[in-house]
Amino acid sequence: DGGITQSPKYLFRKEGQNVTLSCEQNLNHDAMYWYRQDPGQGLRLIYYSHIVNDFQKGDIAEGYSVSREKKESFPLTVTSAQKNPTAFYLCASSTSGSINNQPQHFGDGTRLSIL
Amino acid sequence: GDSVTQMEGPVTLSEEAFLTINCTYTATGYPSLFWYVQYPGEGLQLLLKATKADDKGSNKGFEATYRKETTSFHLEKGSVQVSDSAVYFCATGAGNNRKLIWGLGTSLAVNP
- Residues B39-98 have pLDDT tens digits of 988 999 999 999 889 999 999 999 999 999 999 999 999 999 999 999 999 999 866 666
Q: Does A50 touch chain B (CB under 8 A)?
A: yes
pLDDT band at A42 (very low <50, low <70, confident <90, very high): confident
Sequence-separated (6 or more) residues with CB below 8 Å from residue B76: B18, B19, B20, B21, B62, B63, B64
Encode pLDDT of B75-92 as tens digits. 999 999 999 999 999 999
- Cα separation of B90 and B86, whole Å? 13
**Interchain CB distance below 8 Å, B98 and A106:** no
Confidence of residue A8 (pLDDT cuts 50, 70, 90): very high
Distance from CA of B49 to the nearest CA of A (A): 8
Which pLDDT score, from 0 to 100, does residue A6 have?
A: 97
Query: Which one, of B24, B51, B25, B5, lies nearest residue A102 by Cα?
Result: B51
Specify the range with the lowest mean pLDDT, choosing from A68-77, A92-101, A106-115, B89-98: A92-101
Residues of B in contact with A31 (CB under 8 A): 98
The answer to whether the bond into B10 is cis (omega within 30° of 0) is yes
Q: How confident is the model at residue A41 (pLDDT cuts 50, 70, 90)?
A: confident
Q: Is B57 on the interface with A (CB under 8 A)?
A: no
By the CB < 8 Å criterion, does B100 face chain A? yes
Find the closest chain B residue to A46 by CA distance.
B99
CA geometry: angle B107, B98, A79, nearest 5 deg: 75
In chain A, the largest separation of any two C-alpha atoms, in whole Å, equals: 43
CA distance B74 to A74: 33
Contact across the interface for B31 and A94, Cβ inside 8 Å: no
CB contact under 8 A, A43 and B102: yes
